[in-house]
Structure 1
């Protein structure tokens, strides 16, 4: 693929993503989408904290 065709494809993909984001932000489902994203972010934070605690416990056990 040539450099100019990659640029055109990138532009089209970027424009499509922009349109999709704009649609969701202006739709009635915006609040629902934001709530789902917050929920998933909270779950990810909880998983990270649990893994961090496991790592800290394993390191402590290894050093004692």
Structure 2
């Protein structure tokens, strides 16, 4: 595959991704997906906070 063929394939793939993203951003599913992502992010944040608190408690116990 020569450079011009690679450029054409890259352009087509980029255009397809752009169309897909544009369609997604204008669809009704966007709000549903954003809500799910926020929920998962909040769960992960809570999990990390608990781990951090456990680590801090263990560190305080070691240093005491």
Same fold (TM over 0.5): yes
Provide structure 2 residue ranges, at least 5 long, that are not aligned to the other structure.
Answer: none
Provide structure 1 residue ranges, at least 5 long, that are not aligned to the other structure.
Answer: none
Deviation at 1:54, TM superposition (A): 0.8
TM-score between the two structures when normalised by the length of structure 2: 0.69
Question: Which of the two has higher C-alpha Rg?
Answer: 2
Of structures 1 and 2, the one scoring higher in RCO (CA 8 A, sep 6+) is 1
Q: Which runs of 4+ in 1 moved over 2 A?
A: 4-23
- The count of corresponding residues between Structure 1 and Structure 2 is 63
Deviation at 1:25, TM superposition (A): 1.1
Distance 1:49-1:18 versus aligned 2 partners, 3 A rule: farther
TM-score between the two structures when normalised by the length of structure 1: 0.69
